[in-house]
Amino acid sequence: MGVGRRFADLVAFIRYYAKAKRGGRFRTRAALEEWQDRQVRTFLAFVRSRSPFYREYYSGLDERDWQRYPMIDKTIMMAEFDRLNTVGIGREEALSLALEAEETRDFTPEIRGITIGLSSGTSGNRGLFLVSPKERVMWAATMLGKALPGSLFAEQRIAFFLRANSNLYGSVQKRRIQFQFFDLLDDVSVHIEHLNRYQPSIIVSPPSMLRLLGEAQMRGELNVTPAKIISVAEVLDPLDQSFLSTCFKQVIHQVYQCTEGFLATTCSHGTLHLNEDLLVIQKEYLDREQGKFVPIITDFTRTTQPIIRYRLNDILTEQTVPCPCGSVFTPIVAIEGRCDDLFYFPSVKNGELVPVFPDFIRRAVIAATPDVREYRVIQEGPQHVQIMLRGPEDKRQEMEDAVAASLCHILEGMGVRPPVIGFMPYEFVPGATKLRRVERRFTLV
């Protein structure tokens, strides 16, 4: 990489960083939406000129109506990959290169300077993502701008837990900001020793790993005093959130980002806000009263693989009261998880399957007894649920009875038939797979 190029990257980095820092500069919601509308229209003009797929998909549609354009999802995006991206990269070429890189883990695949990313998921259902060098700089700068406390020039030692070091993260290497990557597949004892030496000012990690670190901190094996802890990549369960804030004596922050976009960040108050300076997030309500919705995202900052009116497979719960921080960006109570983890039980009335939000299952377990330290609830069929509980062994029976009663009570109140519940000892090893405390394992027909 030439010096000129590096300088240009640095200038861009500082610009995006500063922009992300003042992200909340909109005085009113109306001002934000008007600005977003202009961003999207400019973006659409570019995309229509470069992407054969979108040109055809939106043919004859008025640009002022973009909020009602037909949607896309992962299936469409992958099926139309070649014609959708604006850099002429073919799916087969990108996929075989990405798989090869994953196998060897020793290079980051690139085609003509564009980084190829492969999202996690089941083998047939993995997403393929393209990121240009400019977008990579922007991503890193925006992420740091939104997540870092203080200024860019304050020194930071960041401990970043992830599955494998990739180029995408590697670009966040600035002089005053040190990055250490911790491979989630390594043993926790290795991490503890490493963290004690490194003394990070910021820890970024999935909550399942933070749990282990928090327990080590409580036992006195881990001795760190980070200024900020950011939970990523997995749903932050209210149980883990309160446990971790007790362990580390601070608010646990969150960054909600997936390969499709950088969706939300917590403010100084610990409230998650949608990153509406980067994306338009429309709501497809699943339950308006409860404020539960599926986000439909339009990312007007990424042009390599444009994401327009893309329906995510996640459930979010909006917060109805404004956040005291004063931001006009939509506050979110929680990211509930994936739509695939909605539970379904037969209705008492007619036997039809009724969806039950993961949040209700969570609350039923947490409210049952303060003895539950960790749990997993797995629905294996409309009438079969397995529950794993971790808590004091001498209270196991009481714990199981309380959780079963609480769950049945909530379900009966919803007019559905409670399932047969089986109990198992708690089991989960962070690293290879993402922790889902509420998980559905059967598919709907």
Could you tell me the smallest distance in angstroms from the CB atom of residue 252 to Zn ion?
A: 15
Residue closer to Zn ion, measured from CB, 23 or 206: 23
Q: What share of the chain is helix, strand, coil (3-state, %, to 5)?
A: 40, 25, 35
If the CB atoms of residues 120 and 268 are measured against Zn ion, the closer one turns out to be 268
Q: How far is the CB of 371 from Zn ion (least distance, A)?
A: 33
Q: Specify the residue, 21 or 91, whose C-beta has the smaller distance to Zn ion.
A: 21
Which residue's CB is nearer to Zn ion, number 271 or number 301?
271
Residue whose C-alpha is closest to residue 225's, from 159, 177, 270, 163? 159
Least Å from the CB of residue 288 to Zn ion: 23
Smallest separation, CB 138 to Zn ion (Å): 23
Listing DSSP states for 111-128 in one string gives ETTEEEEE--S-GGG--E
Query: CB of 117: closest distance to Zn ion in angstroms?
Result: 30
Residues in touch with Zn ion (CB under 5 A): 267, 269, 271, 323, 325, 327
- C-alpha to C-alpha distance for 66 and 61, rounded to whole angstroms: 8
Containing H/E element for 239? helix 238-248
CB 416 within 8 A of CB 354: yes
Q: In this structure, are residues 411 and 354 in contact, taking their beta carbons and an 8 Å threshold?
A: no
Which residue type, as a one-letter code, is found at position 229?
Answer: I
Could you tell me the two tokens for 238? 């209210």
Name the E strands within 301-383.
Answer: 307-311, 314-318, 331-338, 343-346, 353-356, 374-381
What CA dihedral angle connects 42, 258, 268 and 337, to 10 degrees?
A: 120
Nearer to Zn ion, 118 or 323 (CB): 323
Nearest approach in angstroms of CB 272 to Zn ion is 8
Q: Return the number of the residue (325 or 348) whose C-beta is nearest Zn ion.
A: 325
